[in-house]
Amino acid sequence: MLRSLLFLTLLTAAATASPIDSEGVRIEKDVEYLGQDRPEKADLYFPDKLAPDQRCPAVVIIHGGGWVAGDKGAAREQNIGTNFARHGYIGMSINYLLATPATKAPTWPQNLQDCLTAVRWLRKNADRLHVAPERIGAIGGSAGGHLAAMLAVTQPEDGLDPSGPYPEFSCRVQCAIDMYGPMLWFEQRDLPMFRQTRAEAPDLYRAATPMTHVNGKTPPILILQGTEDKTVSPEDSHALDSALEKAGVEHQLVLVEGAGHSFHLEPKQKDLRPLVFEFLDKHLRSQP
């Protein structure tokens, strides 16, 4: 199983992308957001020119890699971050705790809590970063898609919010984009991040399943899925779509015909940027 997840990591890391054009974008790399004792850092993507009083929506960008590997600076994440900054958004591409072979302890729910902490960190530093703190979203691909969905569907009463740092700030996002995230895997296979099997810890697996938490409080979610994805089945995206539909949550499932796994915002099959920014602008710019 670990071998197959590492293969997924290779697929994710090798996401096809044109050479990154950062013109019009200011990038700040390796920003500490989890505290001095944590090696995981973040890369920030800003519009090149910001007025002193300008406030921008922000989006946490979560890399994939089967929850065992991956990096904030991979091609897909750079593609997303630079496109966001050019569209007037601030992107925060994060690294989070991974279940590497050297990591013996469980990494769930710390991996999710790292992502939630990124949301808090943006709010804590909103003035300095030019962030509109009430307009924060999340996006992720593959395992990052799962985590982005979890940021949207979980509430404080689910008991998954981190105790710190920055507990005075909310972890909640106003919308999320799930790009081909695994949703049914928690019912189908044992995963290294739990360090236990499904038979040994069914409640842990259930708590990590986005469909468990979907309810009327869930903010809007956009789901992007390739029809030819051989790593994460389109059935996973359909399962989340069905749960959102049943709960009456505003959402959209977009099937990208002919696309496989691990595409970014500009796959050869279809330029997804107009669709993505229509969704983000509606939910992060059109608020009163």
Q: pLDDT, tens digit, for every residue of 43-91?
A: 999 999 999 999 999 999 999 999 999 999 999 999 999 999 999 999 9
Residue 228 to residue 225: CA distance in whole angstroms: 9
Q: What is the pLDDT of residue 114?
A: 98
> What are the strands of the beta sheet with 131-141, ordered from one edge?
25-32, 41-47, 90-94, 56-62, 131-141, 175-179, 221-226, 251-256
What CA–CA distances, in Å, run from 41 to 3, 45, 62, 93? Answer: 26, 14, 12, 9
| Average pLDDT over every residue of 35-48 | 96
* pTM of the predicted structure, to 2 decimals: 0.93
Strands 25-32, 221-226: parallel, antiparallel or unpaired by DSSP? Answer: unpaired
114-158 confidence digits (pLDDT tens): 999 999 999 999 999 999 999 999 999 999 999 999 999 999 999
Q: What stretch of H or E contains 46?
A: strand 41-47
Cβ contacts of residue 285 below 8 Å, gap of 6+?
Answer: 57, 135
Residues spanned by the domain of 227: 2-285
190: its two tokens: 């044992």
- What CATH code is carried by the domain that includes residue 187? 3.40.50.1820
Determine what percent of the chain is predicted with pLDDT higher than 70.
Answer: 92
DSSP label of 194? G
Rounded to the nearest 10 degrees, what angle do helices 110-124 and 143-153 cross at? 60
CA dist 49 to 23, 31, 58, 135, 288, Å? 11, 20, 16, 20, 24
As a whole number of angstroms, the distance between CA 110 and CA 160 comes to 9
- Which of these, 124, 109, 111, 143, lies nearest to 40 by C-alpha position? 111
Domain total in the chain: 1
